[in-house]
């Protein structure tokens, strides 16, 4: 599924906090790790000597991190590059140089209203890249500083083919890391009228959601998935997904969002966007080209 894991580092302990996960994934998928450090200072406006020193410092910094990784990953699987420019742009361009790349990035955690904000670079990359990206919130860390073990993959589905297009990636993670897969379906009927009418509509929508999720379970079991289950929730999709992920220990959530070109690339589907912005659990985002909303 993946041949390369691209990890942007900026010299902070937060950006480096994903390195143990990178080792886990590289060994599980048998792929390489590439570290990237982006120098965002305006090189055209500074003396050549300072520019050369900045590049040298960046290369030295990455070399040290590669040396640490080499104790757990074969050296031939490791590489690095120092880029100059806007960090989000350089990360996206570097990721799209090769197919079968997974971007792995951290995001800082907030509480209250500020939970709606990701680190600016991570947020831009998530919004614009066509490359699969696994975002690890800082709150996904254990109190002792270690990383939680992945045990479950949560896959929200809405009945669309677009949402289902995340399944190959989710299944690959489950196979590589021996994860349980949990399919979830949320419905939120909003129909004007009497409470009796509303109850009838709610039951119809619930039954439809249940039939869909059961059919998808049977389909995946026929294809060989054994550790798989499902849950159905009534309520707003993003809220239900976030609450369930936070209540499910050692989980990550895999979601698909629609792909656009040009300025539209900076928009995520509303549900996926809310989950990525607000959850305290890892989220795998797969951008798919299609006409359905994500």
Looking up tokens 């949402």 gives 163
Q: How far apart are CA 21 and CA 168, in angstroms?
A: 20
What confidence score (pLDDT) does residue 156 get? 95
Predicted TM-score (pTM) of the model is: 0.87
Q: Which of 37-41, 45-49, 177-181 has the highest mean pLDDT?
A: 177-181
pLDDT for 42-86, tens place per residue? Answer: 766 778 888 889 899 999 999 999 999 999 999 999 999 999 889
The predicted model gives 20-27 an average pLDDT of 94
pLDDT for 235-292, tens place per residue? Answer: 889 999 999 999 998 999 999 886 444 434 444 567 888 898 888 889 999 987 654 4
Distances (CA, A) of 107 to 16, 116, 138: 11, 12, 6
* Of 206, 251, 257, residue with least CA distance to 231: 206
Residue 132 has pLDDT above 90, yes or no: yes
What confidence score (pLDDT) does residue 257 get? 80
Residue 180 has pLDDT above 60, yes or no: yes
SS3 134: strand
Q: Which domains does the chain have, with CATH numbers?
A: 1-147 (3.40.50.620), 150-294 (3.40.50.620)
**Element of type H or E holding 86:** none
Length of the chain: 294
């Amino acid at each position: 599924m993946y041949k390369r894991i691209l990890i942007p580092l900026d010299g902070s302990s937060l950006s480096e906090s994903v390195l143990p996960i990178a080792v886990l994934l590289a060994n599980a998928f048998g792929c390489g790790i590439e570290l990237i450090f982006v120098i965002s200072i305006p090189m055209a406006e500074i003396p050549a000597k300072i520019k050369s020193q900045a590049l040298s410092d960046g290369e030295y910094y990455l070399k040290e991190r590669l040396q640490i990784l080499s104790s757990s990953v074969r050296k031939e699987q490791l590489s690095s590059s120092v880029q100059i420019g806007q960090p989000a742009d350089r990360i996206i361009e570097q990721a799209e140089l090769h197919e079968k790349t997974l971007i792995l990035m951290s995001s800082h955690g907030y509480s209250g209203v500020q939970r709606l904000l990701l680190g600016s670079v991570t947020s831009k990359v998530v919004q614009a890249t066509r490359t699969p990206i696994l975002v690890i919130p800082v709150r996904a860390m254990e109190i002792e500083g270690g990383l939680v073990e992945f045990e479950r993959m949560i896959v929200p589905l809405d009945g669309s083919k677009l949402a289902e297009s995340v399944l190959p990636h989710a299944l690959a993670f489950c196979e590589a890391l021996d994860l349980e897969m949990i399919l979830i379906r949320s419905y939120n009927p909003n129909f004007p009228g009497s409470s009796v009418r509303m109850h009838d509509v709610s039951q119809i929508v619930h039954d439809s959601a249940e039939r869909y999720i059961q059919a998808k379970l049977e389909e995946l079991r026929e294809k060989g998935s054994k550790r798989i289950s499902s849950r159905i929730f009534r309520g707003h999709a993003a809220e239900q997904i976030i609450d369930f992920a936070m209540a499910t220990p050692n989980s990550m959530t895999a979601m698909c969002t629609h792909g656009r070109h040009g300025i539209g690339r900076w928009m995520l589907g509303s549900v996926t966007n809310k989950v990525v912005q607000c959850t305290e659990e890892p989220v795998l985002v797969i951008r798919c080209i299609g006409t359905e909303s994500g």
